[in-house]
């Protein structure tokens, strides 16, 4: 029999709605979202539009749908998106923009998932009939495979300037935007001020069971609604889940600092295990990646032995692992998890 999962560090998507959140969902005022009659959803959209400093917002079932809807709204078939080669839209969204939009992607190899204005400039396609049309610069805040690194406002503004000068739009995938806000003290508004569109996830560190909110100009959001419909993301009594999002915004933003502190504890303890190296070496938010290639076990082997102890972490490939802190893991959980890795490696040697 599989052991009971005690500590789940595989993703910040593994949070369960709290009692208070479930009560808010139960009590939600609802209507038909497609007719803009769901008051709770409207309130959530207004709240996020204000938070991100944009004119309008639309509620979508997932972060992936926010990316796809935004990118299809910005781009036409034959257009090209420029982003980090580690971006979620390249490796983890089923090629949605290529399939639904006939859009290509030009990747930039990056260390932390962050590219510079010069790197963007170097990837712009010449304007000629044989080239795809460079149309959009894509930013991930924080970077997932880049280890939760934070794009600074200057880095974003520099990239946006090059993009705008060349006629490109800028989009921020804000799956963990609020982690960047809490870790840096910079407001969400400042982070996305030079971006044409940006979204925040509600179902990661913020702890809602589902949902993301995409923001932009009123015209952009009107057009995004068409793609939301086409992709089957238009809902009915969505207030039940929007209420969880509102609860998350009210109760779970500031507490992300605890996740960052726990990630630091985890990172320090993991870095002390012989043969294990943090990768990247600096942990800025709630994602802890580490390299186990100098131990005698592969990443999948360590992950499966952890699972036998009721602890889940991700094996990204043979040598790299990922642990993510979130509101359902405590300081004592991350201490137990790092002790478990140490014990697994020590016992294997013995």
Note the residues at the interface with ligand PLP (CB under 6 A).
13, 62-64, 67, 88, 140, 144, 173, 175, 201, 203, 212
Closest approach, Cβ 289 to ligand PLP, in A, equals 13
Q: Which residue is nearest to ligand PLP (CB)?
A: 63
Q: Which is nearer to ligand PLP, 140 or 284 (CB)?
A: 140
Tell the residue number behind the tokens 């407001």, with chain if given. Answer: 187
Q: Residue 19: enclosing H or E segment and its boundaries?
A: helix 19-27
At 43, list the tokens: 């309130």
Q: Which structure tokens are listed for 221?
A: 């959001």
Tokens of 82: 């420029």
Please tell me the distance from the alpha carbon of residue 233 to that of residue 144, in angstroms, as a whole number.
24
Give min distance, CB of 175 to ligand PLP, in A. Answer: 3
Smaller CB separation from ligand PLP, 69 or 311: 69
- By residue count, the chain amounts to 350
- State the nearest-atom distance from the C-beta of 313 to ligand PLP, in Å: 15
Residue spans of alpha helices (H) in 135-238: 153-165, 177-184, 188-192, 218-230
Nearer to ligand PLP, 155 or 293 (CB): 155
- Given a contact cutoff of 8 angstroms between Cβ atoms, the answer to whether 132 and 104 are in contact is yes
Is residue 33 within 8 Å of 199, Cβ to Cβ?
Answer: no
Instruction: Give dist(CA 160, CA 169) in Å, integer.
Output: 8
Q: What gap in Å lies between CA 74 and CA 81, rounded to an integer?
A: 10
Smallest distance, Å, CB 64 to ligand PLP? 4
Rounded (10°) CA dihedral 297, 301, 306, 312: 130
Pick the closest to residue 7 from 300, 344, 315, 307 (CA basis): 307
Cβ distance to ligand PLP smaller for residue 228 or 269: 228
The CB-of-273 to ligand PLP minimum distance in angstroms stands at 26
* Shortest Å distance, C-beta 103 to ligand PLP: 16
Could you tell me which residues come within 8 angstroms of residue 157 by beta carbon, excluding any fewer than 6 positions away? Answer: 193, 194
The Cα–Cα gap between 281 and 213 comes to: 32
Nearer to ligand PLP, 175 or 340 (CB): 175
- Please identify, using beta-carbon distances, which residue of 58 and 344 lies nearer to ligand PLP: 58
- In sequence order, the 6+-apart residues with CB closer than 8 A to the CB of 217 are 54, 55, 56, 196
From residue 133, alpha-carbon distances to 82, 95, 129, 159 in Å are: 11, 18, 9, 18
* Nearest-approach distance from CB 3 to ligand PLP, in angstroms: 25
Tell me how far, at minimum, the Cβ of 127 lies from ligand PLP, in Å: 30
212 or 252, CB closer to ligand PLP?
Answer: 212
CB of 207 to ligand PLP, least distance (A): 13
Of the pair 49, 175, the CB lying nearest ligand PLP is at 175
* CA pair distance 296, 177, nearest whole angstrom: 36
Cβ proximity to ligand PLP, 142 vs 295, nearer residue: 142
């Amino acid at each position: 029999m599989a052991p009971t999962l005690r500590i789940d560090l595989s993703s910040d998507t593994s949070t369960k709605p709290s009692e208070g959140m479930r009560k808010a969902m139960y009590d939600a005022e609802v209507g038909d979202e497609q007719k803009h009659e769901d008051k709770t959803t409207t309130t959530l959209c207004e709240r996020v539009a204000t938070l991100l400093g944009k004119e309008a917002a639309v509620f979508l079932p997932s972060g992936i749908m926010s990316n796809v809807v935004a990118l299809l709204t910005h781009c036409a078939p034959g257009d090209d998106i420029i982003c980090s080669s580690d971006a979620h839209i390249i490796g983890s969204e089923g090629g949605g923009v290529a399939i639904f939009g006939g859009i290509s992607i030009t990747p930039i190899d990056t260390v932390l998932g962050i590219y510079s204005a010069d790197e963007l400039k170097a990837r712009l396609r010449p304007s000629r009939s044989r080239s795809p049309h460079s149309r959009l610069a894509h930013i991930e805040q924080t970077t997932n495979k880049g280890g939760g690194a934070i794009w600074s406002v200057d880095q974003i503004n520099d990239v946006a300037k090059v993009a705008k000068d060349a006629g490109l739009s800028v989009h921020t995938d804000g799956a963990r935007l609020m982690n960047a806000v809490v870790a840096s003290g910079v407001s969400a508004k400042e982070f996305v001020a030079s971006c044409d569109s940006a979204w925040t996830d509600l179902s990661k560190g913020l702890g809602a069971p589902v949902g993301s909110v995409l923001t932009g100009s009123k015209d952009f959001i009107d057009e995004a609604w068409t793609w939301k419909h086409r992709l089957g993301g238009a809902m009915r009594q969505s207030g039940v889940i929007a209420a969880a999002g509102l609860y998350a915004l009210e109760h779970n933003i500031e507490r992300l600092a605890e996740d960052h502190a726990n990630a630091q504890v985890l990172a320090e303890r993991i870095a002390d295990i012989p043969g294990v190296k943090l990768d990247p070496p600096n942990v800025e938010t709630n994602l802890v990646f580490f390299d186990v290639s100098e131990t005698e076990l592969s990443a999948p082997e360590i992950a499966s032995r952890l699972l036998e102890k009721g602890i889940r972490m991700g094996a990204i490939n043979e040598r790299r692992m990922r642990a993510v802190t979130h509101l359902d893991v405590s300081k004592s959980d991350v201490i137990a998890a790092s002790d478990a890795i140490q014990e697994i490696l020590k016992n294997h040697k013995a």
